[in-house]
Chain A
Amino acid sequence: MSGVTTFLTRRRGGRFWHWTDIVSWLWLVGGLVIMFGPAVWLVGSSFKTPAQLAEFPPTILPYVSQQASVEGHDKPLTLYRVKQADGSTKVMAEVRRIGIVAQMVDPKAPKDIIKVNIADRQPVREIGFATGNYTEPFVHFDFMRYLRNSVFVTAMATLITLLTNSMAAFALSKYKFRGRDLTMLLIVGTLMVPLSVILVPLYSVVSAVGLLDSLWGVILPTVATPTGVFLLRQYMLTIPDELLDAARMDNASEWQIYWRIVLPLAAPALAVLAIFSVVWRWNDFLWPLVVLSRKELYTLQVGLNTYAGQLNVQWHYILAMTVVTMIPVVLVFVFLQRYITSGIAGTGLK
Chain B
Amino acid sequence: MTAVATLKTWTGAALAAPVVWLASIVNVPLKWWQRATGTGGMAAFFLAPNMAIFGIFVLVPLVINFFYSATSGTAYFLQDRTYVGLEQYQRLLDCGNYLDTATCREDLFWKAVHNTGLFVLVQVALLTVVSMITALILNREIVGRSFWRAVFFFPVLLSPVVTGLIWRWILQRQGLLNLIVHDLGGDPYNWLTDRFWAFTAAVSVSVWAHMGFYTLILLAGLQAIPRDLYEAAEMDGTKPARGFWRITLPLLMPNLLVVIVLALIRAVQIFDEVYVLTGGGPGTSTLYLTQYIYEIGFASLLRNPGLASAASILMGLVLVVLTLLQLQVGRRGERKGARE
Contact = CB atoms under 8 A, between A and B. Distances in A.
- The reply to whether A and B meet directly (CB within 8 Å) is yes
A12 B230 CA distance: 12
B64 to A, nearest CB: 5
Nearest to B53: A224
Given A24-B142, A304-B161, A35 B61 contact: no
A225 B315 CA distance: 21
A264 to B, nearest CB: 12
A28 B156 CA distance: 17
Interface in B258-292: 258, 262, 265, 269, 271-272, 276, 279, 289-290
B169 A3 contact: no
A196 B312 CA distance: 7
Interface string A126-169: 00000000000000000000000000000000000001110110
A268 interface: no
Given A171-B43, A183-B51, A254-B42, A301 B161 contact: yes
B208 interface: yes
A205 B47 contact: no
Max chain A CB contacts within 10 Å: which of B26, B40, B46, B59?
B46
A348 interface: yes
B142 to A, nearest CB: 6
Interface string B25-42: 011001100100001101
B86 interface: no
9 contacts: A28-B142, A35-B208, A167-B46, A168-B50, A175-B43, A183-B47, A283-B158, A333-B154, A341-B149
Closest CB pairs A-B (n = 9): A283-B159, A168-B50, A10-B141, A171-B46, A224-B54, A201-B61, A221-B57, A175-B43, A224-B53
Contact of A203 (B140, B219, B297): B297
Contacts of A165: 50
Contact of B53 (A56, A164, A333): A164
Contact of B151 (A32, A199, A201, A304): A32
A54 B305 CA distance: 41
A253 B308 contact: no
Contact of A38 (B51, B166, B269, B316): B166
A197 B66 CA distance: 11
B54 A282 contact: no
Interface string B197-213: 00000000000100011
B148 A192 contact: no
Contacts of B276: 285, 305, 308
B294 interface: yes
B40 A199 contact: no
A319 interface: yes
B312 A308 contact: no
Contacts of B175: 58
Contact of B50 (A206, A229, A318): A229
B144 interface: yes
B152 interface: yes
A52 to B, nearest CB: 10
Given A3-B143, A56-B174, A308-B276, A341 B134 contact: no
Interface of B: 23, 26-27, 30-31, 34, 39-40, 42-44, 46-47, 49-51, 53-54, 56-62, 64-65, 68, 76-78, 133-134, 137, 140-144, 146, 148-162, 165-170, 173-176, 178-179, 182-183, 188, 208, 212-213, 216-217, 219-220, 240, 258, 262, 265, 269, 271-272, 276, 279, 289-290, 293-294, 297-298, 305, 308-309, 312-313, 315-316, 319-320, 323, 326
A220 interface: yes
B148 A38 contact: no
A258 B46 contact: yes
A199 B42 contact: no
A181 to B, nearest CB: 13
Given A177-B44, A198-B312, A254-B42, 12 more contacts: A27-B137, A28-B148, A56-B188, A171-B42, A183-B51, A196-B269, A196-B293, A200-B65, A204-B76, A322-B162, A330-B157, A337-B153
Interface string A190-225: 101110111111111111110000000000110110
Contacts of B216: 341, 344-345
Interface in A46-88: 53-58
Contacts of A209: 56
B161 A325 contact: yes
A203 B269 contact: no
A280 to B, nearest CB: 10
Max chain A CB contacts within 10 Å: which of B64, B165, B213, B326?
B165
Contacts of A258: 46
Nearest to B181: A57
Contacts of A255: 23, 26-27, 30-31, 34, 42
Contacts of A190: 54, 58-59, 62
Contact of A208 (B77, B165, B262, B319): B77
Contacts of B213: 344, 350
Contacts of B56: 205, 209, 220
B57 to A, nearest CB: 4
A177 B213 CA distance: 37
Nearest to A348: B217
Nearest to A46: B169
A10 B50 contact: no
Contact of B313 (A4, A197, A286, A341): A197
A195 B134 CA distance: 30
Contacts of A329: 157-159, 162
A13 to B, nearest CB: 10
A199 B294 contact: yes
Contacts of A177: 40, 43-44
A171 B51 CA distance: 11
A207 B143 contact: no
Nearest to A275: B157
Nearest to B212: A35
A345 to B, nearest CB: 4
Contacts of A261: none
